Amino acid sequence: MTTKVEIIIDNLDDPAAFEAALPGILEAARALPGLRGLESSRVWPKDDGTATPAYRTLALSFDGYEEASAATATAEGGAFFGAVVVATDGKITGLFLDVETA
């Protein structure tokens, strides 16, 4: 069963700085062992101009929980998560998800 590591990036003080760092973050994600898929999504702004619940998400797909866990414990995992934390000032929530298809 597919497992996703979903990173929810909260609204940032300097989104432009994060966007400048994003190519390097995605490159670091692609180096994760066992990575099967990578998605980067930006949250649509609200029509009324109020703050969105988050700024962006990153989703990393693996064959299963064991593969995702192992990948995050590698040097490559440390480099990826370190880059995300620095670029977001730690304004993230990370989730391991068991993907169910309907």
Each of the 102 residues of the chain gets a pLDDT tens digit; together they read: 899 999 999 999 999 999 999 999 999 999 999 999 999 999 998 889 888 999 999 999 999 999 999 999 999 999 999 999 999 999 999 999 999 988
Q: How far is CA 73 from the centre of its chain?
A: 15
Instruction: Please count the other Cβ atoms lying within 10 Å of the Cβ belonging to residue 65.
Output: 15
Domains of the chain: 3-98 (3.30.70.100)
Contact at 8 Å (CB) between 53 and 13?
no
- How many residues are present in the chain? 102
Q: Across the chain, where does the E strand assignment appear? A: 3-9, 37-42, 56-62, 92-98
